[in-house]
């Protein structure tokens, strides 16, 4: 079942292998592929937005379509691109970093992926059926979302509900993995920061997503079953949606950023050849950001009219987040200080991140100043802020991580030249696109504007912004070429291409499907580095060679997700005709049946025999 | 790991639910899940509290809620929590028969609770015309209490599946964690109900 | 907040002025050149926070540059292993304390300004206007003065005008960047804020909350005039005679057509209450048609014949019988004579 | 895998410990029932001001829930540090959620 073997078998077998896999490394591939696909889609939508806004009073696309475009761009990028890409990286790297053979619930891992994928596909079906995509913004404020005609918002509700359930499972899975499956000696305070970030991010997922789940249920009930949560005539209150949404969505933005903080910590230390400066402070800063992250959601609601007391409290709480984040920025700088920095593509993205994210973070603090936000709110200033943190943070981080761990994940090294070219094009394009948007906002351009008027001083800025976006697009295309090139004839990767410090670099690239032949013994922070410094260069095993227990592959996760998706279609269209209820029953039936099979049929997995392991050459 | 982890007095670990890695994973996984459920129900409670006076001219909580039925439901559910404790007690003593018996009682109590809840809902709908669509209060009430009811239903189904599936096999290290996680889940449902009877019914009476 | 801030402010305003002169921002739209109390409050904080942020950014960049110059791997350093530093208590304390100080510096004036702008205690003595947000137009009801207008909001300079805002459908947001920050217009709850303009002029207002396809065209104007002119305007509006017959035949035709075509069911002219469409009493004085179109006759005719092409999703489309070009022309002629006051956007300085 | 195979005989000591545990659980059950009855009576009797009744029944609920968690669900036992931490995390997020939504009522 090694990679070579799968390649020799036919494409059908290859596909079947991936559809049924429960191996965290293959699930990581799936997440990267799915997330990557949606990133291109979201990027395409962004390009359409930017073309529409290239000149004043443009009519490249219609007003209704424009609203669909921004909604789908935001939703796709956040839920279907950024988060899955991050979950993919976590799947690929975290178990290796803590010396585990798999995650706690391999079956659930696969289920989580398929729920995300089907949820995303369901959401995007709205383009083709039911009268258009959702058009109430990614924030779907009621009552615009409850009154939105057609089925667009219904697709939004069910697509996110399904993919959200998948994410929640992923979170619980990582938590249990880190709690129970760390290798001997891998104490919490020896975990690499990416694993720490995975842990804290999972906590955020666990506590943030339920609020979204509830919000989506309320919205669904209002739209499909005539309840009155957001119906003012029957006593409903639309602000409830805003609270629920932001109670989820603010932690969500830290779900997007904390993992890449982990990525940058690992990369900075490795490529500066220094241990991470202030490890303990970095861990606690991560925890503190997560903790504070739950107390600040109303900074998105400063103009709702909650009153000066609430606004002040939330303003102060928000500003407090500057402190732990600052600790991180300065610790990264201090890690590099005195180091011996290798500047390759992974490091370039890291170096690009620091000033870009600092700018984004600072504009965040500016937004937190409630009275100033009365001006910024819902303008391009906010658009600029969040693209600075999300693109300059999350996307840069994902790119850094991809260049850094590509060899480990796929066994080949990405082409350096193209890597650097991608970076420079994207970096310049990014600043061109979003820097001017700060000024556009202050000059009176609200966000979600289909057109801006002539003669309002907004033409040049918007044009510059569009040009920048094209540069980014070229950068992305070159990255794609790089991926195909590497896949076809890239250099084979050694086990440890960057002189690594953590456990993942102690095993071959890509790792064998059981990860560690013998569970490693961890003797300190940066375990591989410790061994290298003591001249051994390889990890001491914690156990004698023995049988390895492995989980069985299963098609059930795919079927369960498919069932829920069919039911999703049923829910959406039963409003038009009750015959569609058949889909609801059939879909839920399929899902329940698959779950029943799962719980009734014992699945004890299988064992790789000791002899077999001995036979495999090192 | 071999297929048979039958427990007998000689080979029984102290905490069969956590004796294997799979068991520990289930144990932690379910606990974490309950942490998330806390937020889920808090969101429903919050929505309910925000809307509990938004009756839009329809029936209000003071018109609707009687205490007798709710008291009975509460006693039933609290007792079922105790019966599942007994079941776990017998599991740790490796007394499979008694465990099954107590679990059966738990399921029966759960079903009685559900029956009363269904009766209660129909009563409101038929006698007061108070529905999910009457007002924001109606929507919030049925959603909160209904989601709890849904959790009870799911719990009963889960329990039944476990009992039937393992009826012939007896206890082993493979299924002990499953029984244990079920019992955790069941207690949590009880916890949620404690807040429901307090916040919805008792506070609803107080006005 | 005033003293030392003043210096910063004049410095900043000077550089801002340079920017404006360079063509950045339209004077009666940009938030960067505040012309009212609220906008000035916000601007003070924008300046303060920008100064803090630039300071922090420069420090980060300074360290960053030094690191990049000094600590890149040089040729022939391949085997070099730097000292593995664990951390430094002193340094870490420093970069915890300094941000705390900076944040407090920003937080204190923020809280002060938040309470200042939320202070409505004087509203009983001030001017109170009810604002209703509709998809995609604005209604302004001068309750105490007993008349209403739409799209153009007249206020006196130097006085606090309290706007009490409610939406008739979805959430909108009321924003006049040059005069004050924005506030949401919710369907379930009245929100109040005040406008206090420092200079006469016509200011752009924008809807800042996504409210449907024509969200970007839901513009309005605030016309700030001297208190005397304001009083004059109020009395002119109160004395407007809706029954006044137009002078020329075309317009008389238009008036008849207006009545025949059901326009009255949505549009009020004069005192008749209406909430479905904009109040047209002083339509001829509008600075823009439908919020954003130049007030020319061609535009008006276009609007009357096909509002959908100009404002997608608006609520007028299809609600009245189709008009021929001629009919539309007559109605336009009539509407463009609905003028009751000398106080107009033009007299206030124009757009 | 089977990390914990060191088995224990179900000796009399173990039995006694479990009995002891069971007794504690019965006591907590009795207390829970007692609290419930007090709460219902406090409301049904209709003699106290809502100002007092509401906090009282809320406190009763919280205490009885603590019993559920610590005794019935064993949160007091060892090996429950992580579950307890995350449970408290959940309670923290839940409290904030409630605060936010209750804010609407006062607003
Ligand atoms: C990755 C995602 C991400 C991240 C990390 C952040 C980080 C922050 N965000 Fe951002 N934000 C978004 C994504 C993100 N945000 C999105 C998507 C929206 C819009 C949603 C929508 O409406 O559609 C938004 C909107 C948003 C608003 C609402 C604006 C509005 O709608 O009116 C506010 C207001 O306070 C805010 C604040 C902050 C703050 C204070 C931080 C802080 O965490 C930043 C902390 C970092 C630093 C401060 C820099 C480093 C620190 C130092 C170098 C130390 C010294 C610094 C000081 C002393 C200041 N954000
Ligand atoms: C992870 C989150 C994320 C990311 C990465 C991005 C990336 C980008 N965003 Fe996005 N954006 C959001 C999240 C994100 N955005 C959110 C949440 C909103 C708010 C939505 C709302 O208001 O509801 C928003 C809104 C938003 C707006 C404001 C719209 C408005 O308010 O009217 C704009 C305008 O410029 C914009 C632009 C861009 C651009 C140019 C990029 C670029 O960085 C994109 C770069 C990528 C590419 C250029 C890909 C190019 C690829 C190809 C060309 C190949 C295509 C081929 C195939 C499909 C096979 N975004
Ligand atoms: Cu009204 Cu946007
Ligand atoms: Cu936020």
- Residue C347 maps to a domain: yes
Q: Phi-psi category of A524—alpha, beta or left, where left has phi over 0 and alpha has psi -120 to 50?
A: left
- In chain C the first and final C-alpha atoms are separated, in Å, by 33
Q: Are C197 and C321 in contact (CB under 8 A)?
A: no
Among the listed residues B111, B39, B56, B59, the one whose alpha carbon sits nearest the alpha carbon of residue B80: B111
Residue A377: strand, helix, or coil: coil
> At C33, phi and psi to the nearest 5?
-120, 80
Cβ A86 under 6 angstroms from ligand 1: no
Q: What is the mean pLDDT of residues A550-556?
A: 93
pLDDT class for B1, splitting at 50, 70, 90?
very low
Contact indicator for B39, D97 with CB cutoff of 8 Å: yes
**Does C197 share its domain with C337?**
yes
Ligand 3 proximity of C218 Cβ (cutoff 6 Å): yes
Model pLDDT, residue D5: 42
Contact C25 A274 (CB under 8 A): no
Does A56 touch chain C if contact means CB atoms closer than 8 Å? no
Residue with tokens 């001006």: A375
Q: Which residue of B has its CA nearest to D103?
A: B50
Mean pLDDT calculated for residue range D72-101: 90
Contact residues, chain B, for D64 at CB < 8 Å: 194
Task: Give me the pLDDT at residue A8, please.
Answer: 58
- pLDDT (0 to 100) of residue A573: 94
- Judge whether A237 and D104 are in contact, CB under 8 Å: yes
The tens digit of pLDDT for each residue in A271-314 reads 999 999 999 999 999 999 999 999 999 999 999 999 999 999 99
The model's pTM is 0.95
- The pLDDT score that the predictor gives to residue B6 is 54
- Shared domain for C298 and C177, answered yes or no, is yes
Give dist(CA C55, CA C60) in Å, integer: 9
Radius of gyration (C-alpha) of chain C in whole angstroms: 27
Domain that holds residue C67: 25-74+84-117
Residues of chain A with pLDDT > 70: what percent?
98
Residue C6 lies in a domain: no
Asked whether residue C5 is domain-assigned, the answer is: no
Burial of residue A600, with CB atoms counted within 10 A of its CB: 0-12 exposed, 13-18 middle, 19 or more buried: exposed
Residues A446, C299, C266: CA angle, nearest 5 degrees = 80
Which range is least confidently modeled, A452-461, C214-223, D44-53, D56-65?
Answer: D44-53
What's the whole-number mean pLDDT along residues C289-309?
A: 94
Tell me how far apart the 2 most distant CA atoms of chain C are, in Å: 97
Q: Which helix H or strand E contains B119, and what residues bound it?
A: helix B96-128
Contacts of B47 in chain D (CB under 8 A): 101
Q: Quick check: is C289 in a domain?
A: yes
Q: Is the beta carbon of C249 within 6 A of some atom in ligand 1?
A: no
* Residues A493, C104: Cα–Cα separation, whole Å: 50
CA C209 to ligand 4 center in whole angstroms: 17
Q: Closest to A240 (Cβ–Cβ): which among D1, D86, D104?
A: D104
Q: Is the CB of A325 inside a 6 Å radius of any atom of ligand 1?
A: yes
Give the pLDDT mean for C76-94. Answer: 87
For residue A417, give both structure tokens.
Answer: 């030249």
- Searching chain A, which residue's CA lies closest to the CA of residue B40? A210
Q: Give the mean model confidence (pLDDT) for residues A115-135.
A: 94
**Ligand (nearest to CA of A156):** 2
Q: Is the ipTM of this complex over 0.90?
A: yes
Instruction: Tell if the CB–CB gap between B33 and A237 is shorter than 8 Å.
Output: no
> How much is the pLDDT for C276?
87
Is the domain of C137 the same as that of C243? yes
Choice among B34-38, C3-7, C302-306 with the minimum mean pLDDT: C3-7
Q: Does the pLDDT at position B3 exceed 60?
A: no
Phi, psi of C196 (to 5 degrees): -140, 105
Least confident of A220-234, B185-199, C336-350: C336-350
pLDDT at A369 over 90: yes
Q: Which CATH number covers residue C174?
A: 2.60.40.420
Could you read off the pLDDT of B70-104 as tens digits, one per residue?
999 999 999 999 999 999 998 888 889 999 999 99
| Strand runs labelled E in A535-605 | 548-550
Whether the CB of A82 sits within 6 Å of ligand 2: yes
Count interface pairs B-D at CB distance under 8 A: 157
pLDDT of residue D11: 59
Residues 6+ apart with CB under 8 A from A60: A48, A51, A52, A54
Same domain? For C236 and C343 the reply is yes
Nearest Cα to Cα of residue A91 among A162, A13, A34: A34
HSE at residue A348, side-chain half, CA atoms within 13 A, is 18
* Alpha carbon distance A286, A280 (integer Å): 10
Which residues in chain A are contacts of B133 at CB distance < 8 A? 225-228
What are A204-231's pLDDT values in tens digits? 999 999 999 999 999 999 999 999 999 9
- Quote the CA–CA distance of C179 and C39 in Å, as a whole number: 5
Mean pLDDT of C172-187: 96
A174: which 2 tokens? 């990582």
Q: What's residue A612's pLDDT?
A: 85
Residue spans per domain, chain A: 20-554+603-617, 555-602
- Distance from C-alpha of C67 to C-alpha of C77, rounded to nearest angstrom: 17
pLDDT single digits (tens) A27-59? 999 999 999 999 999 999 999 999 999 999 999
Q: Which two tokens stand for residue C304?
A: 């009357």
Domain presence at residue C205: yes
Instruction: Answer yes or no: is the C-beta of A391 below 6 A from any ligand 1 atom.
Output: no
Residue C17, in any domain of the structure: no
pLDDT, tens digit (0-9, with 9 covering 90-100), for A226-252: 999 999 999 999 999 999 999 999 999
Question: Does any domain span residue C70?
Answer: yes
Find the ligand nearest to A292 CA. Answer: 1
What is the CATH architecture assignment of A20-554+603-617? Up-down Bundle (1.20)
Lowest mean pLDDT among A168-172, A576-580, A608-612, B185-189: A608-612
Say whether residue A141 is in contact with chain C using an 8 A CB cutoff: yes
Residues with Cβ–ion distance below 5 A, ligand 4: A 250
Q: In this structure, what token pair is assigned to residue C39?
A: 């906008």
Residue bearing the bigger pLDDT, C267 or D9: C267
Instruction: Write down the H helix ranges in B129-175.
Output: 136-166
Tokens of A1: 């079942």
C339 — pLDDT class (breaks 50, 70, 90): confident
CA dihedral C276, C281, C285, C286 (to 10 degrees): 0
Residues C308 and C196 in one domain: yes
Confidence of residue D8 (pLDDT cuts 50, 70, 90): very low
Tell me if the domain spanning B16-39+66-206 has CATH number 1.20.120.80. yes
Where residue B196 falls among pLDDT bands split at 50, 70, 90? very high
How sure is the predictor about C265, in pLDDT bands with cuts at 50, 70 and 90?
A: confident
* Per-residue pLDDT band at C270 (split at 50, 70, 90): confident
What's the pLDDT at C16?
54
User: Measured between CB atoms, does C46 come within 8 Å of chain A?
Assistant: yes
Q: How many domains does chain C have?
A: 2
Closest Cβ–Cβ partner in B3, B139, B174 for A221: B139
What is the per-residue pLDDT for C4?
A: 54
Q: What is the CATH number of the domain that holds C111?
A: 1.10.287
* Predicted pLDDT at C1: 41
pLDDT tens figures, A563-600 = 999 999 999 999 999 999 999 999 999 999 999 999 88
Please state whether A140 falls in left (phi above 0), alpha (psi between -120 and 50) or beta.
left
**Does residue A445 register a pLDDT over 60?**
yes
3-state secondary structure A323-358: HHHHHHHHHHHHHHCCCCECCCHHHHHHHHHHHHHH
Q: What is the pLDDT of residue D4?
A: 42
């Amino acid at each position: 079942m090694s990679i070579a073997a799968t390649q020799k078998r036919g494409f059908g077998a290859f596909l079947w292998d991936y559809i049924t896999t429960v191996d965290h490394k293959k699930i990581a591939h799936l997440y990267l592929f799915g997330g990557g696909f949606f990133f291109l889609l979201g990027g395409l939508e962004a390009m359409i937005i930017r073309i529409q806004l290239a000149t004043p009073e443009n009519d490249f696309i219609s007003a209704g379509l424009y609203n669909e475009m921004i909604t789908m761009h935001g939703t796709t990028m956040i839920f279907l691109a950024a988060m899955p890409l991050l979950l993919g990286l976590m799947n690929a790297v975290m178990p290796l970093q803590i010396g585990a053979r798999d995650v706690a619930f391999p079956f659930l891992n696969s289920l989580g992926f398929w729920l995300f994928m089907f949820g995303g596909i369901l959401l995007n079906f709205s383009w083709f059926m039911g009268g258009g995509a959702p058009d109430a913004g990614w924030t779907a404020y009621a009552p615009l979302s409850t009154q939105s005609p057609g089925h667009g918002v219904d697709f939004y509700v069910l697509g996110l509900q399904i993919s959200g359930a998948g994410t929640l499972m992923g979170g619980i899975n990582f938590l249990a993995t880190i709690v129970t499956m760390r290798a001997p000696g891998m104490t919490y305070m020896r975990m690499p920061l990416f694993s720490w970030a995975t842990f804290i991010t999972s906590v955020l997922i666990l506590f943030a997503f339920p609020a979204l789940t509830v919000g989506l249920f309320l919205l669904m009930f209002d739209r499909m079953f005539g309840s009155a949560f957001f119906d003012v005539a029957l006593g409903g209150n639309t602000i409830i949606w805003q609270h629920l949404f932001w109670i989820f969505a603010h932690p969500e933005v830290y779900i997007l950023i904390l993992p890449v903080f982990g990525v940058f910590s690992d990369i900075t230390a490795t490529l500066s050849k220094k241990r991470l400066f202030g490890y303990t402070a970095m861990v606690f800063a991560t925890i503190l950001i997560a903790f504070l992250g739950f107390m600040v959601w109303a900074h998105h609601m400063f103009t709702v009219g909650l009153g000066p007391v609430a606004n002040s409290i939330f303003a102060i709480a928000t500003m407090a987040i500057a402190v732990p984040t600052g600790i991180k920025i300065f610790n990264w700088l201090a890690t590099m200080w005195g180091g011996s920095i290798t500047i390759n593509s992974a490091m370039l993205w890291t170096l690009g991140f620091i000033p870009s994210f600092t700018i984004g973070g600072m504009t965040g603090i500016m937004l937190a100043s409630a009275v100033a936000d009365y001006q910024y709110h819902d303008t391009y200033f906010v658009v600029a802020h969040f693209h600075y943190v999300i693109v300059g943070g999350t996307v840069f981080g994902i790119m850094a991580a991809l260049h850094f761990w590509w060899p480990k994940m796929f066994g080949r090294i990405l082409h350096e030249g193209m890597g650097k070219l991608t970076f420079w094009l994207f970096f310049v394009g990014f600043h061109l696109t979003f820097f001017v948007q700060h000024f556009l906002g202050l000059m009176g351009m609200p966000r979600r504007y289909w057109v801006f008027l002539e003669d309002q001083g907004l033409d040049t800025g918007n044009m510059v912004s569009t040009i920048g976006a094209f540069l980014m697009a070229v950068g992305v295309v070159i990255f794609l070429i790089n991926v195909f090139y590497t896949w076809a004839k890239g250099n084979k990767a050694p086990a440890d291409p960057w002189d690594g410090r953590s456990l993942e670099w102690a095993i071959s690239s890509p790792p064998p499907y059981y990860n560690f032949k013998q569970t490693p013994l961890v003797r300190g922070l940066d375990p591989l580095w410790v061994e290298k410094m003591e001249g051994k260069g390889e990890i001491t095993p914690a156990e004698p060679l023995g049988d390895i227990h492995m989980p069985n592959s299963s098609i059930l996760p795919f079927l369960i997700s498919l069932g829920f998706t069919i039911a999703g279609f049923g829910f959406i269209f039963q409003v038009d005709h009750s015959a569609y209820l058949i889909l609801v029953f059939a879909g839920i039936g399929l899902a329940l049946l698959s779950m029943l099979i799962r719980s009734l049929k014992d699945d004890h997995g299988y064992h790789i025999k000791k002899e077999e392991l001995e036979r495999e050459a090192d | 790991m071999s297929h048979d982890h039958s427990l007998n007095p000689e080979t029984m670990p102290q905490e069969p639910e956590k004796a294997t890695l799979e068991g520990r994973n289930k144990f932690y996984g379910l606990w974490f899940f309950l942490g998330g459920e806390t937020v889920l129900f808090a969101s429903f409670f919050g929505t309910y509290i925000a809307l509990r006076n938004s009756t839009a001219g329809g029936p209000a909580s003071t018109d609707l809620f009687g205490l007798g039925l709710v008291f009975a439901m509460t006693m039933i559910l609290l007792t079922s929590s105790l019966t599942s404790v007994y079941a776990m007690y017998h599991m740790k003593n490796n007394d499979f028969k008694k465990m099954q018996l107590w679990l059966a009682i738990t399921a029966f109590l759960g079903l009685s609770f559900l029956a009363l809840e269904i009766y209660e809902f129909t009563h409101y709908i038929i006698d007061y015309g108070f529905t999910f669509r009457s007002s924001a209060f109606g929507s919030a009430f049925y959603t909160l209490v209904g989601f709890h009811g849904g959790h009870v239903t799911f719990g009963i189904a889960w329990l039944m599946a476990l009992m039937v599936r393992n009826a012939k096999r007896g206890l082993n290290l493979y299924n002990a964690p499953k029984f244990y996680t079920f019992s955790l889940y069941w207690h949590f449902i009880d916890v949620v109900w404690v807040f429901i009877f307090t916040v919805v019914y008792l506070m609803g009476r107080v006005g | 907040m005033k003293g030392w801030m003043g210096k910063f402010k004049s410095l900043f305003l000077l550089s801002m002025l340079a920017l404006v002169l360079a063509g950045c921002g339209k004077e009666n739209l940009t938030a960067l050149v505040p012309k009212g109390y609220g906008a000035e409050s916000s601007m003070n904080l924008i300046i303060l926070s920008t100064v803090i942020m630039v300071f922090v950014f420069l420090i980060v960049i300074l360290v960053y540059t030094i690191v990049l110059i000094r600590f890149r791997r040089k040729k022939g350093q391949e085997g070099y292993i730097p000292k593995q530093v664990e951390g430094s208590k002193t340094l870490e304390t420093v970069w915890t304390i300094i941000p705390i100080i900076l944040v407090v510096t920003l937080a204190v004036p923020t809280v002060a300004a938040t309470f200042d702008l939320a202070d409505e205690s004087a509203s009983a003595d001030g001017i109170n206007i009810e604002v209703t947000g509709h998809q995609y137009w604005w209604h302004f009801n001068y309750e105490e003065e007993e008349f209403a207008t739409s799209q153009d909001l007249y206020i006196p300079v130097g006085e606090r005008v309290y706007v009490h805002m409610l939406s008739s459908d979805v959430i909108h947001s009321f924003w006049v960047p040059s005069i004050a920050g924005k506030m949401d217009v919710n369907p379930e709850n009245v929100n109040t804020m005040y406008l206090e303009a420092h200079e006469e002029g016509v200011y752009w207002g924008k809807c800042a909350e996504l409210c449907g396809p024509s969200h970007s065209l839901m513009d309005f104007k605030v016309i700030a005039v001297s208190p005397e002119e304001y009083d004059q305007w109020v009395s002119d509006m109160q004395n407007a005679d809706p029954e006044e017959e137009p002078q020329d035949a075309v317009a008389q035709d238009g008036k008849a057509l207006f009545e025949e075509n059901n326009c009255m069911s949505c549009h009020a002219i004069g005192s008749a209450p209406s909430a479905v469409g904009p109040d047209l009493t002083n339509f001829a004085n509008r600075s823009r048609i439908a919020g954003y179109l130049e007030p020319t006759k061609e535009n008006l005719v276009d609007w009357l014949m096909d509002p959908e092409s100009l404002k997608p999703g608006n609520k007028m489309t299809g609600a009245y019988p189709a008009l021929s070009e001629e009919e539309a022309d007559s109605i336009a002629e009539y509407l463009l004579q609905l003028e009751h006051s000398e106080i107009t956007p033009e007299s206030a300085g124009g757009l | 895998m089977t990390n914990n195979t060191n088995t224990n005989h179900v000796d009399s000591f173990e039995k006694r410990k479990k009995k002891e545990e069971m007794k504690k659980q019965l006591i907590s059950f009795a207390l829970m029932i007692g609290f419930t009855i007090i709460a219902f009576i406090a409301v049904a009797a209709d003699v106290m001001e809502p100002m007092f009744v509401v906090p009282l029944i809320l406190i009763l609920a919280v205490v009885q829930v603590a019993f559920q968690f610590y005794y019935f669900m064993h949160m007091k036992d060892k090996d429950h540090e992580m579950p307890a931490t995350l449970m408290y995390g959940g309670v923290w997020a839940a409290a904030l959620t409630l605060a936010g939504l209750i804010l609407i009522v006062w607003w």
